Structure 1
Amino acid sequence: MIRAGRLALLLSGLLLAAGAGAARDAKGSAEAQVALGRRLFHDGDLSINGTLSCATCHDPRHSFADGVRAHPGAHGEAGLRNVPSLVNVGSLSPLTWGNAGLTTLELQAMVPITGEDPVEMGMKGQEAELARRLSANHCYRKLFRASFPATRGRIDFASVAAALAAFQRTIVSHDTAWDRAAAGGPPLAGAAARGEALFRGKAGCAGCHAGREFTDLAFHRLPGEPETPENGDFGLARVTGRSEDRGRFRTPSLRNVALTAPYLHDGSADTIAAVLARHGAALSPAEAGDIEAFLGDLNDTQVTHNAAYARPGRSCEVS
């Protein structure tokens, strides 16, 4: 088994070598790259047997999560971690629950596509097959040429990753009741206002869930995290091999958190109240309810209905 850290290095080398042409295509059509990335995001041909697309797990209707504890891979292998939302993912780095080396969307895209620990989309070693599948579609041929003119529209892992990254950077959500209050609009009131005070005070949530995206992007261990978890996931230690990193996971953003249950790295908490308890917060039920009301004001349901993120139609974006 390739350790996750070594996998990140191998993927980085792959993208640096195979993606040199894609990098030179900075002057290619940004609009075409986003359109291409959107099509690829919803396309099951990115998985070995056509059963999974990126959107299978990152469903726009679920705020780019999927509502299950851990999604199985293309061959039915059990998933390891809960699917995080992609809302505002372009502002986040590092990008995953347990690998500080996955700092770009281009690099991260290759993990579900080609990774083996666990197998998700199962396309390791299948770059030629991926190119064959996509090049059979006339719209893809046009979009790759428009997106990557320096390589004459070459279809490979690097260009696929670059297009997926371009699309994901458009998934932006900063229109919530909290954002409007922070910008000088109507302040939060009632339970939500009390909840924010608790969040930033007694509960201590803001120590890690900080800033505009409500994450410090650091790796932490929850109180009471078992030494030997049931699913065998040791978090950051799976990459570093260091015992002190066991059980450390990256702080998730809380944007649209009310729409993305279940919670935590393994999806083992079904409710926000359960999450607060797992964090060791000494709160009354009423106080936990106030914090949940505050977190509800971080919701932007428009992102779940935005047509720009939905599966594209048959009509090609370029002529």
Structure 2
Amino acid sequence: MKVFLAAAALSLFAAAAPPPWQWSLPRGIAPPPVPPENPMSQARVELGRLLFYDADLSADGTLACAGCHEQKRGFADGNATHLGVHGDPGRRNVPGLANVAWLPRLTYADPSATTLEMQALIPLVGERPVEMGMKGLEAQIGRRLGANPCYRRMFRRAFPQGRGRIDLAGVAAALAAFQRTMVAFDSPNDRFMAGDETALSADALRGKAVFDRVGCAVCHGGRDFTDAAYHRVEAVGGRDPGLAEHTGQQVDIGRFRTPSLRNVSITGPWWHDGSASRLELAVRRHGKGAGLSARDMGLLLAFLDDLTDRTFLADPQFSRPDRACGKPL
């Protein structure tokens, strides 16, 4: 199924939208972009949260979105790659989801996935590789979820103009709404940037200077430490064509989107293929990172550790819900 078909289907939900979502963001942070055909609402977020933890969205009922995106790991999973429901080996490392709503590009090398609604379809019905394995089984989504009275009620509330219809487009819309709430702005570095001069340790402050001096911010710049552009790092080999798989251009072979460094200390292993088992190894694969002294490397790692938002890792609003429709799960 082409992602643009599902995106177009979301327009069915656009009319008679629920009351606007109230964002709770630090001062100076503007809300993320939201497609007009999928406005935010409490009902959609609650539904998306429940769906995120539901393995019925996979072919054999064994893999939920949360099976690859674990909150305690910044919504990464700690593996180099993740097997799909049929045993297909994963191709790329599972990225964390902190502040994913602000990212203009949502995968390592697919420039067409520009909204969370489109991205949700990749694990659900994608075939390279097969992850959740729902390609050809899309009609089962309505039957499976529709057998649950709570889901019928939640879909009616989330998409009132859809009269309770449960389908792939609605699932993608709800998952996207939930992921847009995965806001992480409470790392020590965030507090430091907001004016708390005591938020960073002395070593982290020195590491921040190393980060700037060796040019890390050239690619890992901005509020979320990514330029969201595609780059090739010559020290990294492998057979993955990267961006060239979609553009067909030889110049794009081995180019991948710069990952965000938010929560980077706990989202390993690192690189697009998870081939760096330690964060230091990932750093040293960069040109200037290779020549860092042991002391400077230690300082840099201290700074990177202070990009971790511990509140985000334990925030109950992102965890598996223990109740739905007023009843324990």
Q: Distance in 2 between matches of 1:141 and 1:14?
A: 20
User: Residue by residue, what CA displacement relative to the aligned partner does 1:76-106 show, whole Å, maximum 9, x if unpaired?
Assistant: 1100000000111011111011112111000
Specify the SS of the correspondent of 2:79: coil
Q: 1:262 to 1:221 in 2, by over 3 A?
A: same
Give yes or no for the alignment of 1:98 onto 2:123.
no
What corresponds to 2:308 in structure 1? 299
Of 40, 49, 62, which residue of structure 1 is paired with 2:60? 49
User: Residue by residue, what CA displacement relative to the aligned partner does 1:132-179 show, whole Å, maximum 9, x if unpaired?
Assistant: 000001111011000001111211111100000010011111011111
User: Residue by residue, what CA displacement relative to the aligned partner does 1:94-136 show, whole Å, maximum 9, x if unpaired?
Assistant: 1011112111000000000000000000001212111100000
Residue type at the aligned position of 2:206: R
Contact 2:186/2:310 (8 A) holds in 1: no
Specify the SS of the correspondent of 1:253: coil
Give yes or no for the alignment of 1:15 onto 2:29.
no
Residue type at the aligned position of 2:107: T
Contact 2:104/2:114 (8 A) holds in 1: yes
Contact 2:6/2:118 (8 A) holds in 1: no
RMSD: 1.5
Q: Distance in 1 between matches of 2:16 and 2:3?
A: 20
What corresponds to 1:240 in structure 2? 247
User: Residue by residue, what CA displacement relative to the aligned partner does 1:233-283 show, whole Å, maximum 9, x if unpaired?
Assistant: 111111111111011000011111111110010000111210111112220
Q: Distance in 2 between matches of 1:220 and 1:25?
A: 43
How far 1:315 sits from its partner (Å)?
Answer: 3.7
Contact 2:265/2:305 (8 A) holds in 1: yes
User: Residue by residue, what CA displacement relative to the aligned partner does 1:37-83 show, whole Å, maximum 9, x if unpaired?
Assistant: 00000000000001110000001121101000000001111000000
How far 1:317 sits from its partner (Å)?
Answer: 5.3
Structure 2: state its 5+ residue gaps. Answer: 20-39
What corresponds to 2:95 in structure 1? 84
Contact 2:230/2:255 (8 A) holds in 1: yes
User: Residue by residue, what CA displacement relative to the aligned partner does 1:214-240 show, whole Å, maximum 9, x if unpaired?
Assistant: 0000000012333xx2xx311111111
What corresponds to 1:213 in structure 2? 224
Q: What TM-score, normalized by structure 1, do the two folds share? A: 0.92
The one of the two structures with greater contact order (alpha-carbon pairs below 8 A, sep at least 6) is 1
Specify the SS of the correspondent of 2:17: helix
Contact 1:25/1:147 (8 A) holds in 2: no
How far 1:25 sits from its partner (Å)?
Answer: 5.1
Moved over 4 A (4+): none
Q: 1:233 to 1:23 in 2, by over 3 A?
A: farther
Specify the SS of the correspondent of 2:307: coil
Q: 1:132 to 1:222 in 2, by over 3 A?
A: same
Residue type at the aligned position of 2:203: A
Contact 2:242/2:253 (8 A) holds in 1: yes
Residue type at the aligned position of 2:255: R
Contact 1:114/1:121 (8 A) holds in 2: yes
What corresponds to 2:279 in structure 1? 272
What corresponds to 2:269 in structure 1? 262
What corresponds to 2:187 in structure 1? 176
Q: Distance in 1 between matches of 2:168 and 2:16?
A: 15
What corresponds to 2:212 in structure 1? 200
What corresponds to 1:3 in structure 2? none
Contact 2:49/2:318 (8 A) holds in 1: yes
Contact 1:22/1:162 (8 A) holds in 2: no
Contact 1:81/1:265 (8 A) holds in 2: yes
Give yes or no for the alignment of 1:24 onto 2:15.
yes
Residue type at the aligned position of 1:14: A
Structure 1: state its 5+ residue gaps. Answer: 1-6
Q: Distance in 1 between matches of 2:322 and 2:282?
A: 39
Matches within 5 A, 1:226-237: 226=237, 229=238, 232-237=239-244
Higher mean alpha-carbon deviation, 44-53 vs 20-29, is at 20-29
Contact 2:100/2:182 (8 A) holds in 1: yes
Specify the SS of the correspondent of 2:231: strand
Q: Distance in 1 between matches of 2:223 and 2:4?
A: 29
Specify the SS of the correspondent of 2:184: coil
